[in-house]
């Protein structure tokens, strides 16, 4: 059977969607390859959050289409958010493109690719000189129940930590964000289906799950009732907590609007919830938050963080920050710096504002120049990095529980894993004994953003 190459850009949700597409091809007899030059099918799962992500995907696809010898038989396809937002316009940009499939149609990719390959095979049998380029496919239509089509994750051998999609879409309409257009309206999977998937994962050795949603803590608010004062999301957390074999639970990304007391309290009685949250702030300026259509004040964000830290002492908080939003003044920017200093985030993803097509912010007055955005980006990164490096350095000399995920990406001779606080740890060990296991690691050195340690004789739990 043919080989398929899948390249993914963007968030964890895209990674999760790509995994499911890969599984569909594997179950149909295809071989998933990491070598694009071997592939009969090349798919790129795309991101539209920033223009840079779109340009990377377009550039990568263009290079693969034209490198080396002509490969007329290869099926080329875009999936995901850029596919959803640009649709059949992509065929004009890249005429050799065959398939464009949106965010609600991942489950149809195999069907479309199979049909193209079969059509080309039949055409060549009838006429060997027949051109293999033919009719293309664009499917970006909405599909009812699409939140239930990306499920039943197939754990890889000895895979320790996986993502589980619990919902799709977003109703928030932040002025800078294209996600509601690319992912559709907010809709959630039933708890029973999610728990069945998590049990399956646990039965195959998975120890950690990360629950995924565009605004994950608003899970089920339109479909399911509160019970005993608990939101559907907290009900789901409790149900996942009861699954035997699951030892760690994470979720990403929550929104302040859905961070109620029941979720904060859950951290006091659900020990499997990891002591780490990724909690996007975006800006420390209330004026900019209003322009962003983020329905909270900076004081509310600080209040939630401080309540969370009281509920789970030692909680690590990471965040997202945008610099250079239209109209952002030096005073607005300094308000962001002040909150970063006050809350001492363990780390942050810092982004320069990027115009997104058909978003209100793209047409706002006061668009800032790239030089200003880059300058603020570097100033903020200096503060974020200083705090993150100091926090990691403070862990030298401690013992940390690490879930070993496999070989390090930067040094395949060493292993890597994460602490409950989501700190990356690099260490030496026997892969056969360590991968997929919870280990006690002595932290001996901090490399700034990664920790280095050693495994004692009794390190495997």
Compute the average pLDDT of residues 69-73: 64
Q: Is the pLDDT of residue 122 over 80?
A: no
Percent of the chain with pLDDT over 90: 67
Q: What is the pLDDT of residue 155?
A: 53
What is the model's pTM? 0.83
- When pLDDT is cut at 50, 70 and 90, the band that residue 410 belongs to is confident
pLDDT digits (tens, 9 = 90+) for 181-197: 787 889 999 999 999 99
Q: Which residue has the higher pLDDT, 250 or 86?
A: 250
Compute the average pLDDT of residues 206-229: 94
Angle value at C-alpha 367, between 366 and 369, nearest 5 degrees: 125
Cα–Cα dist 89/399, whole Å: 54
**Which residue is listed with tokens 């002040």?**
338
Q: Is the pLDDT of residue 384 over 70?
A: yes
Q: In what order do the strands lie in the sheet with 75-80?
A: 31-32, 3-8, 41-46, 75-80, 99-101, 137-139
Q: Is the pLDDT of residue 69 over 60?
A: no
Q: Is the pLDDT of residue 202 over 90?
A: yes
Q: Is the pLDDT of residue 457 over 80?
A: no
Q: Is the pLDDT of residue 135 over 80?
A: no
The highest-level CATH class for domain 399-460 is mainly beta
Q: What is the pLDDT of residue 121?
A: 74
Q: What is the pLDDT of residue 71?
A: 67
The ranges assigned to domains in the chain are 3-139, 146-391, 399-460
Mean of pLDDT over the chain: 90
Both structure tokens of 248 = 């760690």
Q: In what order do the strands lie in the sheet with 276-278?
A: 276-278, 316-323, 347-352
Cα–Cα dist 118/126, whole Å: 13
- When pLDDT is cut at 50, 70 and 90, the band that residue 50 belongs to is confident
Q: What is the pLDDT of residue 119?
A: 86
3-139 and 399-460 agree in CATH topology = no
Compute the average pLDDT of residues 418-441: 96
Compute the average pLDDT of residues 1-24: 87
Q: What is the pLDDT of residue 179?
A: 80
- When pLDDT is cut at 50, 70 and 90, the band that residue 159 belongs to is confident
CATH superfamily, domain 146-391, is: tm_1862 like domain (3.80.30.20)
pLDDT digits (tens, 9 = 90+) for 312-369: 999 999 999 999 999 999 999 999 999 999 999 999 999 999 998 889 999 999 999 9
Q: Is the pLDDT of residue 30 over 70?
A: yes
Compute the average pLDDT of residues 135-141: 86
- When pLDDT is cut at 50, 70 and 90, the band that residue 144 belongs to is low
Compute the average pLDDT of residues 200-226: 94
DSSP annotation string for 209-270? EEEE-TTGGGTTTTTS--BTTB-HHHHHHHHHHTSTT--EEEEE---GGG--HHHHHHHHH-
Q: Is the pLDDT of residue 124 over 90?
A: no
CATH superfamily, domain 3-139, is: Methylthiotransferase, N-terminal domain (3.40.50.12160)
Q: Which sign does the torsion angle of CA 421, 424, 426, 432 carry?
A: positive
pLDDT digits (tens, 9 = 90+) for 236-284: 999 999 999 999 999 999 999 989 999 999 999 999 999 999 999 999 9
Q: What is the pLDDT of residue 243?
A: 98
Q: What is the pLDDT of residue 126?
A: 58
Q: What is the pLDDT of residue 149?
A: 57
């Amino acid at each position: 059977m043919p080989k398929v190459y899948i390249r993914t850009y963007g968030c964890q949700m895209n990674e999760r969607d790509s995994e499911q597409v890969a599984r569909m091809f594997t179950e149909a007899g295809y071989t998933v390859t990491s070598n694009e030059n071997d592939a009969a099918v090349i798919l790129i799962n795309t991101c539209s959050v920033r223009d840079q992500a779109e340009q990377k995907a377009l550039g990568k696809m263009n290079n693969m289409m034209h490198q080396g010898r002509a490969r007329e038989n290869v099926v080329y396809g875009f999936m995901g958010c850029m596919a959803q937002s640009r649709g059949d316009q992509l065929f004009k940009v890249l005429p050799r493109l065959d398939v464009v499939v949106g965010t609600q149609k991942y489950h149809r990719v195999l069907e479309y690719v199979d049909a193209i390959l079969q059509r080309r095979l039949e055409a060549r049998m009838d006429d060997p000189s027949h051109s293999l380029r033919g009719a293309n496919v664009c499917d970006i239509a909405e599909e009812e129940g699409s939140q239930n089509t990306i499920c039943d994750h197939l754990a890889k051998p000895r895979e320790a930590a996986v993502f589980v999609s619990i919902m799709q879409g977003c109703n928030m309409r932040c002025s800078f964000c294209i996600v509601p257009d690319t992912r559709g309206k907010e809709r959630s999977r039933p708890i029973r289906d999610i728990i069945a998937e998590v049990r399956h994962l646990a039965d195959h050795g998975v120890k950690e799950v990360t629950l995924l949603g565009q605004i994950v803590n608003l899970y089920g608010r339109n479909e399911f009732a509160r019970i005993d004062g608990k939101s559907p999301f907290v009900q789901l957390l409790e149900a996942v907590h009861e699954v035997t074999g699951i030892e760690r639970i994470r979720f990403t990304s929550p929104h302040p609007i859905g961070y109620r007391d029941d979720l904060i309290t859950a951290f006091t009685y659900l020990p499997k919830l990891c002591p780490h949250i990724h909690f996007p702030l975006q800006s420390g300026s209330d004026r900019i938050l209003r322009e962003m259509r983020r329905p909270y004040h900076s004081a509310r964000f600080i209040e939630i963080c401080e309540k969370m830290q009281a509920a789970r002492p030692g909680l690590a908080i990471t965040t997202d920050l945008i610099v250079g939003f239209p109209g952002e003044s030096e005073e607005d920017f300094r308000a962001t710096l002040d909150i970063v200093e006050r809350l001492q985030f363990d780390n942050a993803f810092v982004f320069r504002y990027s115009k997104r097509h058909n978003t209100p912010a793209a047409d706002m007055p006061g668009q800032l120049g790239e030089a200003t955005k880059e300058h603020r980006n570097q100033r903020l990164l200096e503060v974020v990095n200083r705090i993150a490096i100091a926090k990691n350095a403070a862990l030298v000399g401690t013992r940390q529980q690490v879930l070993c995920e496999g070989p390090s990406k930067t040094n395949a001779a060493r292993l890597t894993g994460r602490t409950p606080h989501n700190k990356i740890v690099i260490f030496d060990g026997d892969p056969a004994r360590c991968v997929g296991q919870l280990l006690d690691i002595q932290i001996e050195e901090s490399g700034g953003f990664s920790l280095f340690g050693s495994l004692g004789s009794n390190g495997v739990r």
